[in-house]
Every structure is written in C-alpha cells, then in structure tokens.
Amino acid sequence: MTEKQHHCYKATIRSKNTKPKLLLRKVPFCRGFRYRLNHPRLPGHPDLVLRKYRTVIFVNGCFWHGYENCKYFRLPKTNIDFWQKKIERNKERDKKEQCQLAAMGWHGITIWECQLKPKIRMQTLESLAYTLNHIYLEDRKVKTYEIPESVNNLMAAEPKPSYGKTKHP
C-alpha cells in the first residue's frame, strides 16, 4: 500500500454511525433506555447521553484510543513516532473529558470496540444494562444522616439549659 493509498484509507474512517456504535444503540433502546446522540454541550461529545441516568457512553475504537488490553490494537509499522504521539494525545484527551464529566456530576462509561465483537457482545450489553440500573438506583437512594453520639445534639438556636440556682433580678 502506497502512502497515498494509506492516507485515502484512513480518511474514509468515520467517527459517527460506525458499526460498533450502531450495534450499541439497538439493545439499550429495545430495553427501554432512552438516549440522545453526540450531545454537543458535553465534553467529548459522548456517543450516547442518558439524561435520566446522568450517564454518558463512549464507544471507542481500540486502535484510535490505544486500548492495549486488546488483541486488535497494534501500532502501524511505519511512522511509529507520529502514531504513538497521536494515540497518547487521544488518551490524555479522553481522561480530561472523563474528569470534566465527573466534575459536572455525570457518570462516564467507555465501551471498547472489541467488547462488541460477536463472542462477548451479549455479555457486554448485559453488563451495561446492569450498570445503568445500578446507577439509577444509587442516585435515587434515600440518604440518611446519622449524628455521632459524641456530638452535642443541641440545635444551634437552643440556649444551653442551666440547672441549679438561678439569679432573679
């Protein structure tokens, strides 16, 4: 493959409506999870935004985001310096966006393209449904606060009771 052919090939790779992203969209919708696509005001333009769950889902390509635990991730044999730097920048950007989302109170889930391969796809999607339900229940749990016994239980507006002799004017 010549350099020009390689460039043309890489230029055809899309970021929206890819096969993994289309696969991921079908199952949550069938299970009643409603979402928006590529919300422009959230950091990173998440692939799926589930407002009810305050959760965003990113579907990342193993190569482009440097998923080293994947057998499909392999650096090209040419222009190694360029690709290493590019993938590192992508990883740093992903971390920064996840931190920004967390600071805004959003849960972030990353699903890797290799997790949507036929062998483990259903396991991944089951895990996603479980995680979303868990997030929903945890966020809506009634929080109870207990005051330790060592703390004086007086209200701030109550005067401290005085016992014993009191002086009357």
Sequence ranges of the domains in the chain: 12-135
Give pairs for 48-55: CB < 8 Å, separation 24+. 48/24, 50/132, 52/136, 53/107, 53/132, 53/135, 53/136, 53/139, 54/105, 54/106, 54/107, 54/135, 54/139, 55/106, 55/107, 55/108, 55/109, 55/132, 55/135
Nearest alpha carbon to residue 94 among 61, 127, 139 = 61
Average pLDDT for residues 93-116, to the nearest whole number? 92
When the pLDDT of each residue in the chain is averaged and rounded to a whole number, the result is 80
| Tokens standing for residue 131 | 């995680």
Q: How confident is the model at residue 149 (pLDDT cuts 50, 70, 90)?
A: low
Q: How confident is the model at residue 75 (pLDDT cuts 50, 70, 90)?
A: confident
Q: How confident is the model at residue 154 (pLDDT cuts 50, 70, 90)?
A: low
Instruction: Read off the pTM.
Output: 0.70
**CATH annotation of 12-135:** 3.40.960.10
pLDDT at 10 over 90: no
